[in-house]
Amino acid sequence: MWDRKWIKVLGIAMSLPSTIFVAAWGTMQLHEKKILSQTQAVLLFLAIIINMIGMMVYYALKRKD
């Protein structure tokens, strides 16, 4: 039923929207509690999202053949 070589890519792609929401909420909370500056919060958020997109591309290219 499922193409086993695309399961990881599909899993990451499906979890991306909720990860964006949680990462944005979490970094906003850290900024509001003065644990992180606004720049640090934005960079942390971007690092999480870029890492997930990078993993999707890596797994897609690895499983392409």
The pLDDT value recorded for residue 9 is: 82
Indicate if the pLDDT at residue 16 is higher than 80.
Answer: yes
- How many alpha carbons lie under 13 Å from residue 37 in its C-beta half-sphere? 2
pTM score, two decimals? 0.82
**End-to-end C-alpha distance for the chain, whole angstroms:** 19
The pLDDT value recorded for residue 5 is: 73
User: What tokens does 44 get?
Assistant: 């942390």
The pLDDT value recorded for residue 12 is: 86
